[in-house]
Structure 1
Amino acid sequence: MLKAEIRVYLAMPRNKRQFSFLERALKVAGATPTTGSVLDNYLKYKTGVNKRNGGTIPPDARKLVSYSLAPFGGPDASAATTASKRYRANISKFSNDWRTGGGKISNADIGYALDDPANQVDAAYYPAQMKVFVPDGGATAVAQPRISGITKRSYKTKVGKSYTLPFGAIVGKDDQNEYREQMKVLSTKAKGAGATSITFVPEEWGSPAKEATSGT
């Protein structure tokens, strides 16, 4: 019997640049890399000649559902259940339908509460995320050969669906390991739902927008 290979990653912060290695290599190679090379194809991607491989985006991936979350950092039960101490966060309907259906991840599991007018809405708050990939055909799905639209290199990949789920702290957990505990709980849930790749992106706080005085 084949065993599913489960991969759990701790992702770098959201501002990590994609293709940073190719960017550095391109600077070293100069503006005219060898024709047909990976760098040449990457440069064509940057100038709009080559296109990234893309599947069909489900209509529900563009629709958003909103919940409130308690940020990490040891919220006590009182703070975590007070609407004004919770923050609004969005999840796509596509991911949310999987969560509540095949994913079997409840609001209590993931730290969701229904929206309340008193919730905080802060553009500087980026909730923690769990990103999962569930292959079509389950654990025995076989990787299929493809050609990268960017570098034109061949690679193999499994056909499936990807979901992104923001998550927050759980009421009553106030120790310093609450984030890792939540990762463990959600990983177990996602694996049980057939996920073969699980990535966690930590919570972030950006700089709040600065107020400006009106011009005259």
Structure 2
Amino acid sequence: MALPANNKYRNYYEWKRDPEKRKLPEGSAPDRGRNERMALSPFGLPFGADDRVTISVSKRSKDNLEAMGGAILYNLLTTAPAGSAKLAGFVPAKAILAKRLASPRTVSATANRITGRAYKTNTGDSYTMPFGRESGTSTEFEAQSEIIAAQQENHVISFTPERRRSI
């Protein structure tokens, strides 16, 4: 028994068999814009006004910084001071904020290109924002709690920890 032409399983089977169908269309990734330089105080290093580390943030995230709570909430300096430098192997702690939609489950206008089924989502645009230490005694968990308290009503929030890779 053959499946109907518009059946999601048949569409997936045909996509799996044909390598040409698996190629992604050009321009499928969102435009992040150029990276912008900012500075923060890492959690894993001594705290001081002169101990700032230069980091890169996408222009898209920096443009939405004020709408996401502002630089003070994330303990960021929007312009890197003269004494700050990029730290090799350093990856800052990051908050990933996805905007909550008005209805709990929304059917997207975009359909899956393989099965043809519409996407269902409860979040809108998302932004990744690095965050740093506020004072010499503040911890990463305390900074996360402040971000959650300020943004949880309008955003779904997840975090990635700060890390430093050896090179």
For normalisation by structure 1, the TM-score amounts to 0.58
Residue deviations 1:142-195, cap 9 Å, x none?
Answer: 42155434x638441246211110111112424xxx111111111222224x21
Greater displacement, 179-188 / 61-70: 61-70
Name the CA distance, whole Å, in 2 between partners of 1:164 and 1:43. 36
> CA separation in 2, counterparts of 1:202 and 1:68?
17
Paired AA for residue 103 in structure 2: T
- CA distance 1:89–1:49, shift in 2 (3 Å): same
What's the counterpart of residue 148 of structure 2? 187
1:80 maps to 48
Identity of aligned residues (%): 21
Residue by residue over 1:3-35, the C-alpha shift from the partner in whole angstroms, topping out at 9 and shown as x without a partner, is: xxxxxxxxxxxxxxxxxxxxxxxxxxxxxxxx9
- Structure with the larger helix share: 1
Report the counterpart of residue 203 of structure 1 in structure 2: 162
Residues 49 and 129 from structure 1, CA distance in 2 versus in 1: closer, same or farther, beyond 3 angstroms? same
In the alignment, residue 51 of structure 1 is paired with which amino acid?
L
Q: Which residue of 1 aligns with 2:24?
A: 51
Aligned residue in 2 for 1:66: 37
What SS does the corresponding residue of 2:65 show, helix, strand or coil?
helix
**Match runs of 1:115-194 below 5 Å:** 115-135=80-100, 138-140=101-103, 142-144=105-107, 147-149=111-113, 152=115, 154=117, 155-158=119-122, 160-174=124-138, 178-192=139-153, 194=154
Instruction: Give the partner amino acid of 2:163.
Output: E
Shift of 1:132: 1.1
User: Do the aligned partners of 1:38 and 1:153 also contact (CA within 8 Å) in 2?
Assistant: no
Counterpart contact for 2:105–2:120, Cα < 8 Å: no
Cα 1:179–1:40, aligned 2, differ >3 Å: closer, same or farther?
A: farther
SS, match of residue 102 in structure 2: helix
> Which residue of structure 1 lines up, in the alignment, with residue 62 of structure 2?
96
Greater RCO, 1 or 2 (C-alpha within 8 Å, sep 6+): 1
Aligned residue pairs total 155
TM-fit CA distance, 1:106: 2.8
CA RMSD of aligned residues (A): 3.2
Residues 86 and 119, structure 1, Cα contact 8 Å, conserved in 2 = yes
Report the Cα offset of residue 41 of structure 1: 4.9
Unaligned runs of 5+ residues in structure 2 are 1-8
